[in-house]
Chains A and B, each alone.
Chain A
């Protein structure tokens, strides 16, 4: 499969072209990681994978609150989220 490079919290990662941003984050870490905290500080990550739950929101190319599960990766994409300290 073709691969591309994206930046996740400023680190370059190689991921499958055609992956979603949520998929690329999981692929980069080889596990599910939390990518957001709720207003009350609870850990959040992609849940539904189909654009309904809004729990997977990350910042993509400086635009906040983008749905990671609904956004395909692109070469050079800058993906950022808050490191929560949870696995």
Chain B
């Protein structure tokens, strides 16, 4: 029996993770990438591996993915720059601290570490936080990776064929490239993130622009990924521009500073007003950031869906087309869980978690 052939469009971390998983389960893989592997949102984001319990669907996928990253990272920490630094979610008031306390049993029930920090413990972990904060939630299993490098490593595991080209159309049984070539395959996987609608305009994905700053090297300035509890509230669900305190220690001693979200901005320029609001928010939590020297500011696009969950599974009306896109700000984390889900659906095997909340059919009315 000849090997089934899959074309994956998009060599970001999600496309590369799917490629690795499909190759490992017997598919011949062709990857089509218009720029370089890991160059889009994969390169623009923070590279945080984070288990988030804000909805059952998000928790299932991020917890599963956090475990997969742990296994991958521990096996080869230098390749992935895997740093198991954990996350501290900072509560700004007693109400948020109560929210943090309520989360602890959720994490424990899922078999994950979670620890409520009082103020003394918070400052012991992160002395550069501003005084007067009541505490926070520490998730020790979270980590940081270098996503572009991981994407490339995942791709290298496949033994597949890489084609640098732009896809202009997806049709039954293959794709058409900008140079007019037609490529045939048994299945096509679309993993093009915020550019998804260039090829399938009906999909409910909107680009959400973000800014990040990276500093010079200040080893020990922070020890965990440190973010405000309000991050998810401020960032993920709101349909308006938002900023949230979120800083990350890189393996180099540099610090990544985020975050902000803007809908429907289609130009990549740094917006000084938005950047100012973002940094101001960060200074409210960590005033000593003002003493650091920044090296570079850049922007990128997350692929946002209306319900905040990715699209993983078959396109309901285009046979042979599979989707792995719409991962918003969690694509680095959820790439590995996504790949397991997608490969299981394509291979008719049982995935590690229930695929229903991520199926694209939820956005298509039943005929």
Residue ranges of A at the interface with B (Cβ–Cβ < 8 Å):
39, 57, 63-66
Chain A to chain B contacts (Cβ below 8 Å), 7 pairs: A57-B216, A63-B291, A64-B216, A64-B293, A65-B218, A65-B293, A66-B293
What secondary structure prevails in chain B residues at the interface with A?
loop
CB B146 to nearest CB in A, in angstroms, measures 16
Residues of chain B at interface, number, CB under 8 A:
7
Is B182 engaged at the interface, CB distance under 8 Å to the other chain? no
Given the complex of chains A and B, what is the CA–CA distance between A66 and B252 in angstroms?
A: 18
A residues in contact with B218, CB < 8 Å: 64-65
Give the nearest-CB partner of A62 in chain B: B291
Give the nearest-CB partner of A64 in chain B: B218
A residues in contact with B217, CB < 8 Å: 65
B residues in contact with A66, CB < 8 Å: 293
Which positions 233-253 of chain B face chain A at CB distance < 8 Å? 252
Given the complex of chains A and B, what is the CA–CA distance between A44 and B218 in angstroms?
A: 18
Given the complex of chains A and B, what is the CA–CA distance between A39 and B251 in angstroms?
A: 13
Given the complex of chains A and B, what is the CA–CA distance between A65 and B291 in angstroms?
A: 10
Which positions 252-268 of chain B face chain A at CB distance < 8 Å? 252
Given the complex of chains A and B, what is the CA–CA distance between A57 and B218 in angstroms?
A: 13
A residues in contact with B216, CB < 8 Å: 57, 64-65
CB A69 to nearest CB in B, in angstroms, measures 14
B residues in contact with A64, CB < 8 Å: 216, 218, 293
A residues in contact with B291, CB < 8 Å: 63
Given the complex of chains A and B, what is the CA–CA distance between A57 and B293 in angstroms?
A: 11
A residues in contact with B293, CB < 8 Å: 64-66
CB B294 to nearest CB in A, in angstroms, measures 10
Which positions 272-293 of chain B face chain A at CB distance < 8 Å? 291-293
Given the complex of chains A and B, what is the CA–CA distance between A65 and B218 in angstroms?
A: 9
B residues in contact with A65, CB < 8 Å: 216-218, 292-293
Which positions 191-222 of chain B face chain A at CB distance < 8 Å? 216-218
Given the complex of chains A and B, what is the CA–CA distance between A65 and B214 in angstroms?
A: 14
Given the complex of chains A and B, what is the CA–CA distance between A79 and B364 in angstroms?
A: 65
Give the nearest-CB partner of B217 in chain A: A65
CB B290 to nearest CB in A, in angstroms, measures 10
B residues in contact with A39, CB < 8 Å: 252
Given the complex of chains A and B, what is the CA–CA distance between A66 and B292 in angstroms?
A: 9
Given the complex of chains A and B, what is the CA–CA distance between A65 and B217 in angstroms?
A: 8
A residues in contact with B292, CB < 8 Å: 65
CB B287 to nearest CB in A, in angstroms, measures 13
CB A14 to nearest CB in B, in angstroms, measures 28
Given the complex of chains A and B, what is the CA–CA distance between A57 and B295 in angstroms?
A: 13
B residues in contact with A57, CB < 8 Å: 216
One digit per residue, 1 when the CB lies within 8 angstroms of any chain A CB and 0 when it does not, for chain B 36-74 equals: 000000000000000000000000000000000000000
Most buried by A among B218, B252, B291: B291
B residues in contact with A63, CB < 8 Å: 291
Given the complex of chains A and B, what is the CA–CA distance between A58 and B217 in angstroms?
A: 12
Give the nearest-CB partner of A66 in chain B: B293
Given the complex of chains A and B, what is the CA–CA distance between A57 and B216 in angstroms?
A: 11
Given the complex of chains A and B, what is the CA–CA distance between A85 and B293 in angstroms?
A: 26
CB A35 to nearest CB in B, in angstroms, measures 15
Given the complex of chains A and B, what is the CA–CA distance between A65 and B295 in angstroms?
A: 11
Given the complex of chains A and B, what is the CA–CA distance between A63 and B221 in angstroms?
A: 12
- Beyond the given pairs A63-B291, A65-B217, 10 more chain A to chain B contacts, judged by CB atoms under 8 angstroms and listed by A's residue number, are A39-B252, A57-B216, A64-B216, A64-B218, A64-B293, A65-B216, A65-B218, A65-B292, A65-B293, A66-B293
Given the complex of chains A and B, what is the CA–CA distance between A20 and B217 in angstroms?
A: 23
Given the complex of chains A and B, what is the CA–CA distance between A33 and B293 in angstroms?
A: 23
Closest 6 CB pairs of A and B: A65-B216, A65-B293, A63-B291, A64-B218, A64-B216, A66-B293
Given the complex of chains A and B, what is the CA–CA distance between A66 and B216 in angstroms?
A: 10
Given the complex of chains A and B, what is the CA–CA distance between A57 and B217 in angstroms?
A: 11
CB A40 to nearest CB in B, in angstroms, measures 13
Given the complex of chains A and B, what is the CA–CA distance between A63 and B293 in angstroms?
A: 9
